[in-house]
Structure 1
Amino acid sequence: MKGKYGCGTQSIPKVISKASSSNAWRGITKIWNQFSTNVIWRIGNGEKISFWNDHWVLGIGSLNNFAISSIDGDRSDEKVAAYARAEGDWDWSKLNQILSKEIL
Structure 2
Amino acid sequence: MKERRRHNRVDSLNLLSYTCFDCDGNSECQGMGRTLNVSESGILLETGEQLEEGFQVAVTIAFEENLVAIKGEVVRSLANPEGMFESGIRFSEVSDEQLDVLKAYVVAFEGEQA
Q: TM-score, normalised by structure 1?
A: 0.26
Q: Per residue, is there more helix in 1 or in 2? A: 1
Specify which structure has the bigger relative contact order, considering alpha-carbon pairs within 8 angstroms and separated by 6 or more residues. 2
Would you tell me which structure has more strand in proportion to its own residues? 2
Q: TM-score, normalised by structure 2?
A: 0.25
- Whose Rg is larger? 1
